[in-house]
Every structure is written in structure tokens, then in C-alpha cells.
């Protein structure tokens, strides 16, 4: 997908919501568990219910790999369904991959070409060779971990504080790459001041922001500190949407949760 | 597998060789390409030919994911074949995963339980939550990236030089974990002085060492700087073994390459 199309969708739908498909057999409604492919049936219902309120979908690859071949089949069907029925939605393989050049090429093949995702999340620990192969294709976007929202983010990502932290150096170096206009970043929602700092380092980049629940306060802080003139944000919610209800009304409940976030986003975009 | 069993295998076979299964359809001998599952048939032949000379196998997960569901099937068959026929070989899922707690749990489920690998390589960028879930099971081992052998290793892994670098802090923190005796590390073969530095920080840990080709010199430097009283090393070779010949004699050529490295290891172990 071209970036200008993503921006156009955000403007048209008044939404920068990404729905995370962290689909877990143990958490889906019991009436779906007898389906031939429960993960896919769940995802299909969630996607159909939420498509009007979001601009992106993000399957979390671990949740599919945990079921082996059958999980990978559910993943293939899910991304094929989204691409066939909602071609204007941006798709993210949340895979956190990161390996040397020839291996990175194979992961790019897996997620960009075999599965046809628009983007894939990457861990930068191994440096440039782990990222550059994901920048070769037009219309495909590596989303590099910068500052994450989990507790363990504090273990290593702030190393170098005082001069230049690890997460700052990751952003600075990747911004210097050929085709760097296609690099996106994972930036956690929990530290608004840091969001602003990373926005200053990468004024035009899209940020994928996890860590916003149904809390409007956080969302406003993310928007105020992280947005740019083309919005530049995809805010993800997973469990708060897809597990809004564990009953037969799960899809309707997911739609309501997604709509609630979308309305908050509409208000922010109009402000 | 228990660590003492791995050490016993190393002593018995006079080998600390790990064979990397980076199996690529485009590189396997043409006579195998018409098989129903060429990746598995290739791996099976390589494993049968090299099992006497090595103590570990390391499929590189990217090479299977690139083929989608069929690649994942080949991976499942490969690990099942190794576990059924060579239960004393240590198995490594070279996956470089690294994500927050609930996602890390799903990756642990995928590689430890669904596929039944003994270990999985991990990227530490996201910190403790990305690693701790892989330490919960007895007989299962997270192999954490410390200092890698690729060019990009220099981009971020040395941040903090002068006080404590990123890779040192990764080793120090993970050595402080509960069950830290099960943490292993990826340490590249290309920097012998650094190997010694990491050995000092983690005297008892096993190191998985990529970057040694058929070059005996490197191997000696790795052994001299990286070994401990229980050897503590698994030296990996992938392409130098599995693609030693592209003809019908590929398995015999792989055995010869593996044996050549094993003989060098035997001589080092006796020194």
C-alpha cells in the first residue's frame, strides 16, 4: 500500500485505529470452538465488525505459531480474507523479527510476498543487516522497535542516557537509510515525553503505538505528542476490542469498543 | 534435554558441532526438487549423514516460514524426525524471537511444546519480559543474542562502550535471573577478545557460536577464548556443511565437511 493511501483512509474514516488480532483459542467464545477453523472464523467476524472504525489490522504472529501448521493456516486465511475484502486496510505482521541479511531476506519473503502483508515489525538488536532487506520493496514497510511500552523496555532501551540512548540511536541510524521514508517505528503509549522526543528525530515517520487501552486520556497524550501533519500514528488496541465480550455478541461488542476509540480519534483529529 | 546430557554427548563424540539447517529450495540438489516434501527430504538426508559428527541441529526458522504452511510442515517433520531418531541431539529453533510477556508465552508454546525444540534463540531488545517466559520449563533453554558476528552488530551492541556496553548489560542482567543456569548466549566467532570478556561474565553458560566456517584458525581462537571446564560451546556451521555439494553426493559431502570440523574439535578437546 502507498503511504498516501493510508493517510487518505485515516482522513476519510476519522480514525487511526489498528485492531490487533492476538487470537487465542482459549479466549474466543465457546460457540466458535467447534468450527473447522475457529481462529479464522473469529478473526473474520472481528474484521467484518470493526472494518468501518479502523484503518489497519495487526495479527500477532506468536498466537498463530503456537498452534503449528494449523495456526499458520489460520493466519494465511486471515490475511487473505483482509486483503480480498478490505484492500484499503493497512496490514501489519507483528512478528518482531531480526536476523542477519540472508535470513532477513527470507522473513521479508514470508511476510511481504508469501502472506502479502504491507508491513512487519522488526527488532533492531542485530543492526542494519536485519532491517535493510525489508526496505527493498516499494509499498512495504519495516516497523522498527524504538521504545516499547512494556516494563522490560527499561532494561536496555535507555542505555546511553545522558548522551544518546539506544532507542534514539536506533531512530537516528534508521532515519539515515536509503528509502528511510518507508521506515515506521513502534513507540509505546506510556511515555508521552519520549513520544515527542522520537517525533522530533523522525518528523515524517508513522508510529505504531501499542499500550492504549480504552483510556481516552492516554490517547489524547499520544496524539498531542506523537502526531504530525499527516497524523503519522496508528494506535493499536488488541484485547480491549477483540475480547470485549466472550459471548455470542463478541463481534458486536468488538465493534462498539472500536467505535468508541474511533469517536475519540475523530474528536482529536478535528481539534 | 538436561545440560549434563549435552555435555556427556560432547565428551563422547569429541564434538561441539551444531549443524544449521538453513534449507533453501533454490540451493538443494535438483534431483530432490520433485520429492513431495523436498525441504524435509533434504534435511533427513543431511541429519542422517552428519549425526555422528555433531551434537546439535539448528533449523533457521525464516527458511521455513518463507514457504508458508508447506514450509511450516517441513519444519514440523524435520524436528519430529530428529527427536524420534536422534534423541540425544540438542535442538535449537533459530528464531530470534523477542516480544512482551503474553506473546513470549505463545512463542515458548510454539517452539518448546508444539514443535518440541530444546531451545530457541531470542533477541533481548524488549528486556526481561521477552526472556523470562522461556525460563519456566525444566530442560528448555533460551539462547539470548549477546554479541553477534554480522556487520550490523557494530550498530547498537557496543553502545555504552567505556562503561558497560549493551551486550555486556544483556549478559549481566540475564545472569541475575532465577534459573539463569539455563540461559545460553549467541556470541559471534569473529571477535575472540570479546568472547573471553563474555566468558568472564557468564563462566558456566553455553555459547552458541556462529561465524565459524571451515577455517580451523577461527575455531581454535573460539575454543581458546570461549570454552570452560564443561566445554560450554556449540559451534554452528550451516552453509559450509549442508551445501558442501550441490550434486547427488550432497549428503556424503555434508558428512565429510562435518567430520572435518569434528576432527578439529577432537584435537582441541584433547589439547
Tens digit of each residue's pLDDT (9 = 90 or more) over B245-263: 999 999 999 999 999 999 9
Contact assignment for B128 to A148 by CB distance below 8 Å = no
Note the pLDDT of residue A235: 97
All three cell numbers of B269, joined, read 578437546
Contact assignment for B72 to A69 by CB distance below 8 Å = yes
CATH superfamily for domain B3-270: Aldolase class I (3.20.20.70)
Shortest distance between the Cα of B95 and any Cα of chain A, in A, equals: 8
Of the candidate ranges A107-111, B68-72, B161-165, the one whose mean pLDDT is the lowest = B161-165
Residue positions counted in chain B: 271
Residue B200: Cβ-neighbour burial (10 angstroms; 0-12, 13-18, 19+) = exposed
Provide the mean pLDDT of chain A. 95
Note the pLDDT of residue B41: 98
Catalytic residues of A: 96
**Percent of residues, chain B, with pLDDT higher than 70:** 98
End-to-end CA distance of chain B, in Å? 28
End-to-end CA distance of chain A, in Å? 28
Average pLDDT over residues A239-246: 96
Q: How far apart are CA B21 and CA B65, in angstroms?
A: 13
For residues B241-262, one letter each, b for 16 or more C-beta atoms within 10 angstroms of the residue's C-beta and e for the rest, the string is bbbbeeeeebbebbbbbbbbbb
Q: Which of A166, A69, A6 is nearest to B68 (CA)?
A: A69
- The per-residue pLDDT for range A147-160, each reduced to its tens digit, is 998 999 999 999 98
Average pLDDT over residues B102-114: 98
Asked if the model's pLDDT at residue A212 lies above 90, the reply is no
**Percent of residues, chain B, with pLDDT higher than 90:** 93
Question: How many CB atoms lie under 10 A from the CB of residue A254?
Answer: 25
Asked if the model's pLDDT at residue B100 lies above 60, the reply is yes
Distances (CA, A) of A27 to A38, A243, A256, B78: 11, 7, 19, 31
Contact assignment for B66 to A106 by CB distance below 8 Å = yes
**Which of the four pLDDT bands, split at 50, 70 and 90, describes residue A213?**
low
Answer with the residue of higher pLDDT: B188 or A175.
Answer: A175
Average pLDDT over residues B210-220: 72
Of the candidate ranges A77-86, B123-132, B152-161, the one whose mean pLDDT is the lowest = B152-161
Note the pLDDT of residue B215: 47
Considering only CB atoms, B114 lies closest to which of A67, A106, A130, namely A67
Supply φ then ψ for residue B208, to 5 degrees: -95, 120
Of the candidate ranges A131-140, A217-226, B107-116, B226-235, the one whose mean pLDDT is the lowest = A217-226
Give the best residue of A23, A62, A112, A144 to mutate against chain B (max B CB count within 10 A). A62
pTM: 0.97
Asked if the model's pLDDT at residue A19 lies above 80, the reply is yes
**Which of the four pLDDT bands, split at 50, 70 and 90, describes residue B213?**
low
- The per-residue pLDDT for range B10-36, each reduced to its tens digit, is 999 999 999 999 999 999 999 999 999
Considering only CB atoms, B69 lies closest to which of A24, A69, A104, namely A69
Are B133 and B105 contacting, i.e. CB atoms less than 8 angstroms apart? yes
Contact assignment for B125 to A126 by CB distance below 8 Å = no
**Which of the four pLDDT bands, split at 50, 70 and 90, describes residue B137?**
very high
**Which of the four pLDDT bands, split at 50, 70 and 90, describes residue B58?**
very high
Asked if the model's pLDDT at residue B217 lies above 70, the reply is no
In total, the C-beta contacts within 8 angstroms joining chain A to chain B are 178
CA–CA–CA angle B121, A209, A103 (5° rounding): 30
Answer with the residue of higher pLDDT: A192 or B92.
Answer: B92
- What does the H/E/C string look like for chain A? CCHHHHHHHHHHHCCCEEEEECCCCCCCCHHHCCCCCHHHHHHHHHHHHHCCCCCEEEEECHHHHCCHHHHHHHHHHHHHHHHHHCCCCEEEEEEEECCCHHHHHHHHHHHHHHCCCCEEEECCCCCHHHCHHHHCCCCCEEEEEEECCCCCHHHHCCCCCCCCCHHHHHHHHHHCCCCHHHCEEEECCCCHHHHHHHHHHCCCCCEEECCCCCCHHHHHHHHHHHCECCECEEEEECHHHHCCCCCCCHHHHHHHHHHHHHHHHHHHHHC
Q: Where are the beta strands (DSSP E) in B6-133?
A: 17-21, 56-59, 90-97, 119-122
**Which of the four pLDDT bands, split at 50, 70 and 90, describes residue A165?**
very high
All three cell numbers of B175, joined, read 545472569
Q: How far apart are CA A124 and CA A99, in angstroms?
A: 9
Shortest distance between the Cα of B182 and any Cα of chain A, in A, equals: 20
Question: How many CB atoms lie under 10 A from the CB of residue B152?
Answer: 22
Amino acid at each position: 500500500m502507498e503511504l498516501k493511501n493510508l493517510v487518505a483512509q485515516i482522513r476519510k474514516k476519522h480514525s487511526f485505529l489498528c485492531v490487533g488480532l492476538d487470537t487465542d483459542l482459549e479466549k474466543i467464545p465457546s460457540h466458535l470452538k467447534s468450527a473447522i477453523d475457529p481462529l479464522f472464523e473469529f478473526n473474520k467476524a472481528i474484521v467484518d465488525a470493526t472494518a468501518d472504525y479502523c484503518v489497519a489490522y495487526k495479527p500477532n504472529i506468536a498466537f498463530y505459531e503456537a498452534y503449528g501448521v494449523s495456526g499458520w493456516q489460520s493466519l494465511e486465511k486471515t490475511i487473505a480474507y483482509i486483503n480480498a475484502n478490505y484492500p484499503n486496510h493497512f496490514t501489519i505482521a507483528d512478528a518482531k523479527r531480526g536476523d542477519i541479511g540472508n535470513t532477513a531476506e527470507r522473513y521479508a519473503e514470508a511476510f511481504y510476498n508469501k502472506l502479502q502483508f504491507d508491513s512487519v515489525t522488526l527488532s533492531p538488536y542485530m543492526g542494519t543487516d536485519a532491517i535493510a532487506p525489508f526496505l527493498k520493496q516499494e509499498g512495504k514497510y519495516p516497523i522498527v522497535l524504538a521504545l516499547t511500552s512494556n516494563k522490560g523496555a527499561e532494561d536496555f532501551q535507555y542505555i546511553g542516557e545522558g548522551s544518546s540512548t539506544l532507542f534514539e540511536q536506533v531512530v537516528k541510524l534508521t532515519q539515515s537509510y536509503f528509502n528511510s521514508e518507508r521506515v515506521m517505528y513502534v513507540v509505546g503509549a506510556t511515555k508521552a515525553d519520549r513520544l515527542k522526543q522520537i517525533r522530533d528525530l523522525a518528523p515524517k515517520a508513522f508510529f505504531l503505538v501499542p499500550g492504549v487501552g480504552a483510556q481516552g486520556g492516554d490517547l489524547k497524550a499520544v496524539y498531542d505528542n506523537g502526531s504530525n501533519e499527516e497524523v503519522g500514528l496508528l494506535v493499536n488496541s488488541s484485547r480491549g476490542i477483540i475480547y470485549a465480550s466472550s459471548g455470542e455478541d463478541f463481534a458486536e461488542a468488538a465493534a462498539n469498543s472500536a467505535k468508541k476509540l474511533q469517536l475519540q480519534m475523530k474528536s482529536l483529529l478535528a481539534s
